[in-house]
Amino acid sequence: MNEAFTQLVKEAAGCTLCPAMCGRRAVLSELNGSPEARVMFIGEAPGRKGADRTRVPFSGDQSGANFDRFLSSIKLTRKEIFITSAALCNPRSETGANRKPTQKELANCSRFLRRTIETVDPNVIVTLGSVALEALKRIEYHELNLRESASQIHSWNNRVLVPIYHPSPQVLASHRREAEQLRDYQVVGKAILLGVRRPGAALAFDHELETKAAPGRRTPKRLV
C-alpha cells in the first residue's frame, strides 16, 4: 500500500494537465494523513493561504481552524484520517484569489481522486461541500446533492458516505452555521461507528443493504 501511495504522489507531482495550475504543486503527500486511515475527508481544492502554502490540507487558514475544531468535537484527530481534495492544486483567478476548480480541472484530477480512494481504501468517506460531492460522480455515479443529502449516511461504492458542508468562514456565515456543522460532525461520528465494517457485510443497520451491484448506474442508498 505504501509503495502504491508513493507512486501516486510522484505522478501527481509531475502532472501538467491543467495549464492554469502548472506553476503549482499538488497537495498530496504523507502530510495528507495515514494511507491506512479508515476515514477519508475530501475537500474542494487547496486554499491559497492554506494548504497551497503549508502543504497540509485544511491548515494555515480559517477553514483549517474550523475543520480542526469540528474534528475535535467528535474526538477525532488528524492521525486517524486522510484528507484530500477534488482538485489537488490551488485554482486562482487572474487577481490571485481562490476560485472554484473548473469542470475540466476536476476531470483531469478525477483519476488521482479515484486512485487515492482505491489506495487508502477507507470505510467512510466524508465530502466537504458540493464540489467534492459532485467529484465522486466521476468515480461511481450517484444522484445526491448537498442541499437534500447533507448530514445523512449513505452507501456509495461499497463504502459509507456522509456529505457535509465545507468549513469555510463564508459557508459558516451564510449557509451552515456553527451549531449545525457541529451536529453534522456528530453524524460523521455515527457513520464511523457504522463503517467499521463495509456496507453489505452484515452491518447492524436498520435497513438491509444490497450486497450485489446492480447493472448500470447506481444510486446510493440512504442508511440513516
Q: What is the per-residue pLDDT across 41-64, written as a single tens digit (0 to 9) for each?
A: 999 999 999 999 999 999 999 999
Mean per-residue pLDDT of the chain: 89
For the domain made up of 2-13+26-198, the CATH class stated in words is: alpha beta
pLDDT at 118 over 60: yes
Sequence spans of domains, the chain? 2-13+26-198
pLDDT of the residue at 202: 33
C-beta separation of 152 from 222 below 8 A: yes
pLDDT of the residue at 223: 59
Average pLDDT, stretch 94-111? 95
- Across the beta sheet with 124-128, what order do the strands follow? 81-85, 39-43, 124-128, 159-164, 154-156, 221-222
C-alpha distance from residue 26 to each of 63, 87, 88, 157 (Å): 19, 8, 5, 25
Nearest CA to 113 among 45, 61, 47? 45
* pLDDT per position as a tens digit, 148-200: 999 999 999 999 999 999 999 999 999 999 999 999 999 999 999 987 655 44
